[in-house]
Amino acid sequence: MSWVGSSAVEIAAAVRRGKVAASAVVEEHLDAIAERDGRVGAFREVLADRARAEARLLEGREDLSELPLAGVPVAIKDNVAVEGEVSRNGSAATPDTPAGTDHPVVARLRAAGAVVVGITNVPELCLAAFSDNVYGVTRNPWDLGRTPGGSSGGSAAAVAAGMVPLAHGNDGLGSLRIPAACCGLVSIKPGQGVVPPPEHDWYGMSENGPLATNVADLALALAVMAGDMSLARPGESEALGVGSAIDDYPGGLTLSETPRLRIAVAPLPLPPGLPVDAEFQRSVTGAAEVLGAAGHTMVGRTDRMPAWLAGAAVATWFACARSDAEGLDPRRLERRTRSLVRAGRLLARFGADGSTGRDRWRAHGADQWFGNADVLLMPTLAALPPAADRWGRRGLPANARVNLTYAPATAAWNLAGWPAMSVPYGVHSSGMPIGVQLVAAPGGESQLLALAGELEAARPWTRHAPLR
């Protein structure tokens, strides 16, 4: 049998038990990359020879039978260090010096038995909800004419196309949840302090996390990245339908009954002037019906987020561009990046870098708006993914308009530092997958995974795009 399309849990269990060699699994996935990525453009660099060598070394490890991700091929986003490789962050302006060591998240994945097969594409400096750059345009496997989102779009496209079962990404203003929703995947942005953050942590807002096709894989990958295997229990519910897979992991993790939660349902939570696609709103209410039938208390929310929060998010976006471009040759930056940097510098002169809004939201705004709920249920996106194009060659007005109309629903929870995730729920009339967003207060990662598992059990989604 081919292991391409299998889950990470399935692959790791087979490798641990000696049913398949890690090198065979890796070779099959390298073949899939060679066959599919020419149409998708998920990878900036495929580390084929190095991955083969890593797989062979893995087969000789004495602790192979104890590794939670034994032999699982993974992809790494092009903005964290991979030892011996260059991290370009989607730009020709960044240094071409190979990293001396792995980022802690990469090191943890490798220590758990994962094999790094490639580095995935991002927009320049990860500053947009698309994934085009000087190295090419990444396309959505569900519709090659559309973007897979960003900035972890290459990672999402690689998973959705079945080229890897798991991928690393990170999320500063939605960069895990946006591509997960675009590509029909499940992903989680952990809260602050759970997983070691990327080097450019965007004022403490950016967090590393995984992208996967199912909740069991996502929970296991998050546990490895966090160095906390208790997170490998995807919640506490038999309704997850993955008990046997998780129990297979050495350590005998068990599942118990999910606590009943109070869930606020907000199909239209954005500030006035930011609409949400009607089908996306219906997916939120549909997911609420499933969770209500599971015994949770559902509370309708009709009030919108404050208008000043949108301004704080935009100002923060500009400030991050200004900060990340420091020391880089502006002549080698793309037009979009240069315009974002100019906007950031202009706002900085007037002391309007978004810090006041961020502090206000973190101190009490998020908690007050959240109310007495345990979890918030809302859309991940506001509109369908736009065209896959060279957005980096365009200026600020075009990029800001499209970014803010299709993907304005995630940034609030980066500003707050709270955990949030995107879960597939339903299919749009266009044929594109729809994602719903779950948000919890700090420390609520397990609650989110539990609810995602309940949605998966009740309404299983198509795990891979029908790439044609």
**Residues catalogued as catalytic:** 77, 151, 175
Please confirm whether the linkage preceding 151 is cis (ω < 30° from 0): yes
Query: 3-state class of 366 per DSSP?
Result: helix
Residue with tokens 């807002």: 205
